[in-house]
Structure formats: structure tokens, C-alpha cells
Amino acid sequence: MARHGGRGWYGRVLAAAVGVTAMAAVTSVWTAQAGPVNGGQAGAGASARPSAAGSVPGRVSVDIAHASDHGARGVNITIDDGPDPDWTPQVLQVLRENGVKATFCMVGTQAQAHPDLVKAVVADGHRLCDHTVSHDTTMDTKPDAYQSQQILDAERMITEASGGVRPLYYRAPGGAFTPYSRDLAASRGMRPLGWNVDTKDFERPGAAAIVATVEKEVSNGPTILFHDAGGDRSQTVAALREVLPWLREQGYSFGFPVR
């Protein structure tokens, strides 16, 4: 999985997260104060609902997921880095028009800043994924305590913003997983999540190029990576309008990553 570097907006996200990092010793013990919220998130076509506060999340596999719960002809649409007030609503509209459920990998500070959008994602029946507090693509070079803060604080931010629905997956920024981060996420009920098709939409190569990448590489595996934040995502929106019907015409169905 290729790393995504050179996107200036992450410097701003990281700066915004400095205060969170400074408070890690306090905020990372949120579970002792409020108790974890176990997340029942419904399957495709149904709204996700939180389960009772205080319930303990079940451990899931530490293996990085790529497969779809819809089998060999299933594909997983995953949307990273939001939510964003400009682009997330447009992505949601395209998904709605095509009857597609996706997995949204959210940056903690973005979720905290836009709880209405997190709730909108949940209300449409999509699933949530922890994408850390500040999208640090060097996570795998950092101490365990830092990785823990990034993952657990983002989990808390996303859960609170959603109104109690927990993320079911953890995607390391740029694929910077470590054995420790995978085990920690799995212990919290978040399956480590990879990808098979990187559309490179963050590079803004043009909608046609994004579509062409999906058409060429979907045979590599079912999990397809798009972005709804980090800059102008009009090309992503346009590409989704074209590629979702194309995938269905090719006989694919839309599912969620395996848990």
C-alpha cells in the first residue's frame, strides 16, 4: 500500500491536533470515564445504530482486511480523510443516487469539527472507520504511546460526533500499520483496513484518469480508495458518478470490508 505524502492540508490538520496530542495522557483514558460504546452498525441498506453505552467491543482479527462481505464479485467503496463540509455531502448524494453503501475513514479532528456530517454518514447506512487524529503517515516510526493516542482519541472523537456509533475499522494513514497498532485496533473491535485499488484521486489527475484506474485495477481486489477531503474533490465526485454504474454493469455488487 503506497504512502500518501506531500499534501499540505495535513500540516494544518497536524497543527490543529497538537492540542489533542498534548492532552493525550488525559483524553486517552476516556474509556475509564465514560465507558466504551460498542458499535452496532447495520449492514447495507440499513441505518447504523449505537448499542448500549458501557458495553465492551468484541475483539476482531488483526489481519488487514481487503475482502468484501459480498464475496468474489463484491467491491468495497472506501472514502478517506473527511468529513468535509464541501465534499462529503456531494459524495453522499452520489452514493445515495446509486444505492451504494461505503466505508468512511474519518480523521478525528475533522469528525469533531463536523459532527452533523458524521451523523449524516451514519444515517445513510454507511460504516465508520478510524483514520487517526492527525493523519500522520509516519505512524509506524512513532512510539507505541503515540500510536495509542492517535487511534484511541480518534475513536473517541468519531464516536462522540456520531452520537454513539463506533468505527468498525482502523485504516493507518498511508498504510503505516504496525503490529502494535493492528493489535490495539483489533482489541477495540476495529478491523485493520487496507485497500487494493488506489485511485490517486488526491493527485487530481482528472475524473477520466480516476475512472480508468478503477477499471484497470479492480481485478486486483475489491477495496477501492477515494477521498472526500484534503482539497478540491470535484474530480472524485465526477468519477464516482461514472464508476459506480460501471461497476454494477460489470456484475459487481457493493458491500463492506469483511470484519
Residues classed as catalytic: 80, 227
Spatial distance between the Cα atoms of 100 and 173, rounded to a whole number of angstroms: 24
Cβ contacts of 116 within 8 Å, gap of 6 or more: none
**Cell, residue 68:** 468484501
Give the strand pairing for 197-198 and 74-80: unpaired
Residue 253: name the closest of 74, 123, 16, 111 by CA.
74
Report yes or no: 248 and 100 within 8 Å, Cβ to Cβ: no
**Cell, residue 259:** 470484519
**Cell, residue 217:** 485495477
Q: Is 208 helix (H, G, I), strand (E, B) or coil?
A: helix
Give the strand pairing for 191-192 and 253-255: unpaired
Cβ contacts of 23 within 8 Å, gap of 6 or more: none
**Cell, residue 66:** 481487503
**Cell, residue 153:** 482519541
**Cell, residue 199:** 485511485
